């Protein structure tokens, strides 16, 4: 009789253990499913930020969120004449995020420097109409008095007509190639363009060079840190009357860090 009781209680205990293990396994499986779902949701959000079509209504929100998840500031523009290393400014977060986003989407790859003016700028990033996979938008201006159009500055082109907010084109960028000016040359340029020079502008443009008449007209969002010799080579190529190189200078943009 005692043995039967022991067997009974042992059986109950075993069933209890089985149920407990089963419940624990079920709990672990449920937690694993939640983790997978959370990870999937996170990845979907990241994919959406990369691929959502932008317009002037959602551009600031999407680029702000994208910039928080993609903090890189160093990019390389590769051409047949050499590589250009650029630093993107954190002080212009929307333009930085936009450039990084397009680079990661390989939007720039295969486009050309389509406007080259020796002694002024080299301009690239796509001359065609915005692609359907990107959307159609402009980037809110982020002009800063300390971010000047010095030699090597990276800035965005923009429409001048019906654009009082000076919003930037999203893909059409340029790099300033202008050499340094003498003080009389700078003063003459300022007078021609009706600019009241600051002490910073005077110091920068007489020591490094640049295009002061573009200050407060376009957003500067980065600068060349290596490869100005490549910019000078591009500026020297033969072009048609519109500034387009006779032999295309194709480019590729890669985000480094």
Kind plus residue range of the DSSP H or E element containing 223:
strand 220-226
- Reference 231, options 89, 158, 124, 72; nearest CA is 124
Q: In angstroms, rounded to a whole number, what is the distance separating the alpha carbons of residues 171 and 213?
A: 22
Which pLDDT score is estimated for 101?
97
- Reference 138, options 98, 93, 86; nearest CA is 98
String of DSSP letters for 46-111:
HHHHHHSPB-TTTHHHHHHHHHHH----EEEEEETTEEEEEEE-TTSHHHHHHHHHHHHTT-STT-
- For the chain, the domains span 1-51, 59-255
3-state DSSP assignment of residue 185 = helix
- Reference 154, options 244, 88, 202; nearest CA is 88
Which pLDDT score is estimated for 133?
81
Which pLDDT score is estimated for 127?
72
Q: In angstroms, rounded to a whole number, what is the distance separating the alpha carbons of residues 255 and 75?
A: 4
Which pLDDT score is estimated for 37?
58
3-state DSSP assignment of residue 37 = helix
Q: What is the CATH code for 59-255?
A: 2.40.100.10
Which pLDDT score is estimated for 22?
62
Q: For each of the chain's 257 residues, which pLDDT tens digit applies?
A: 555 566 656 565 556 556 655 666 666 666 765 666 555 555 555 668 999 999 999 999 999 999 999 999 999 999 999 999 999 999 999 999 999 999 999 999 999 999 999 999 999 998 766 566 889 999 999 999 999 999 999 999 999 999 999 999 999 999 999 999 999 999 999 999 999 999 999 999 999 999 999 999 999 999 999 999 999 999 999 999 999 999 999 999 999 99
Alpha carbon of 2 to those of 7, 12, 13, 29, 102: distances in Å? 9, 15, 16, 40, 79
Which pLDDT score is estimated for 9?
60
Which pLDDT score is estimated for 5?
60
């Amino acid at each position: 009789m005692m043995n039967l009781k022991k067997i009974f209680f042992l059986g109950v205990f075993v069933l209890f253990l089985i149920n407990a293990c089963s419940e624990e396994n079920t709990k672990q499986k449920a937690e694993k499913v939640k983790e997978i779902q959370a990870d999937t949701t996170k990845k979907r959000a990241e994919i959406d930020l990369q691929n959502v079509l932008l317009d002037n209504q959602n551009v600031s929100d999407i680029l702000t969120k994208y910039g928080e998840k993609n903090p890189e500031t160093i990019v390389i523009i590769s051409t047949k004449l050499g590589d250009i290393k650029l630093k993107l400014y954190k002080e212009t977060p929307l333009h930085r995020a936009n450039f990084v986003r397009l680079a990661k989407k390989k939007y720039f790859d295969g486009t050309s420097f389509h406007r080259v003016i020796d002694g002024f700028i080299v301009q690239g990033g796509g001359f065609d109409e915005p692609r359907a996979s990107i959307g159609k938008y402009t980037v809110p201006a982020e002009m800063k008095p300390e971010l000047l159009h010095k030699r090597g500055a990276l800035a965005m082109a923009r429409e001048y007509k019906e654009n009082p907010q000076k919003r930037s084109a999203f893909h059409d960028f340029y790099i300033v190639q202008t050499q340094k000016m003498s003080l009389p040359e700078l003063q003459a340029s300022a007078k021609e363009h009706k600019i009241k020079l600051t002490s910073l502008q005077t110091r920068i443009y007489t020591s490094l060079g640049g295009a002061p008449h573009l200050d407060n007209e376009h957003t500067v969002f980065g600068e060349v840190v290596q490869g100005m010799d490549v910019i000078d080579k591009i500026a020297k190529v033969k072009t048609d009357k519109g500034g387009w190189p006779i032999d295309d200078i194709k480019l590729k943009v890669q985000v480094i860090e």
